[in-house]
Amino acid sequence: MIVDFSKLSTIKIGSKIDVKIINEDNYNGEIIIGRASNSLVCSGNIGILDDKYDFIEMIDNKLRVGAKTKNSKLYNFTRKYNISGFEFLSKLPGSIGGTIKMNAGMKNYEISDNLLSVNGIEKDKLEFGYRYSNIDFPIFWAEFEIKEGFNKKLVEMFSNMRNNQPKLPSLGSAFKNPPNDYAGRLIEEVGLKGVKFGNIGFSEKHANFLINYGNGKCDDVIAAIMAAKQRVLERFNIRLNEEIKIFQ
């Protein structure tokens, strides 16, 4: 199956790749891409999950969710059934598998908070941290604890936070925030806010967002990433770590 990642990816950059449809029986080391909301896919041995992993079920007071399920779909489900802990998914692009893999969240809320298991493996046997998990296997489904009390005020707070983010095509935050600091502040301090590399640039609205201003290329993104890492290291002796994933 040919997938044009320039159309699938939220930054609208990527290659046309012959991908394999993955299930639990045929996985053989492929890089599994979901909605490419934080992934720049330029090349590689790529797979996408079978559509059967797009589901939400309530079983024994647990929420079982397929990894291909969109974040927005799970958000709407939890809002409908008054379930708390998923409010930050309101406008978060991507699918649940990738969200778990990178332990995505906003403020002090993370997808691992209500997580019980992944593919039947209990959470306490896995490791989660800030925008991090040690999961090195394909995620097919997960189970979450069901807690009542969907919080509309949290949704409003997250919505207001996202108003500060650029609307043009991007992959979200380019870098993780280093301890006790902000990647956007560091990038701005080294003079890269608003600077373009080809048709890719650090947003004038939020310096930690790389924006595709039209017909951006994989090489443009990589050049911008390398420039930010080098300048911040030279100026502040801080190593920026990418939040986005690059496959080249």
Active site residues: 131, 173, 243
Q: With the C-alpha atoms ordered 80, 84, 89, 90, is the resulting torsion angle positive or negative?
A: positive
H or E stretch covering 39: strand 39-41
Order across the sheet with 196-197: list the strands. Answer: 170-173, 209-212, 200-202, 196-197
Torsion angles phi and psi, residue 7, rounded to 5: -95, -35
Residue 18 near residue 81 (C-beta atoms within 8 A): no
Torsion angles phi and psi, residue 114, rounded to 5: -100, 5
Q: What is the DSSP letter of 162?
A: H
Going by their DSSP bridges, the two strands 141-145 and 115-118 should be labelled as antiparallel
Residue 105 near residue 111 (C-beta atoms within 8 A): yes
Identity of the residue numbered 37: S
In angstroms, what CA-CA distances link 22 with 5, 85, 211? 17, 29, 31
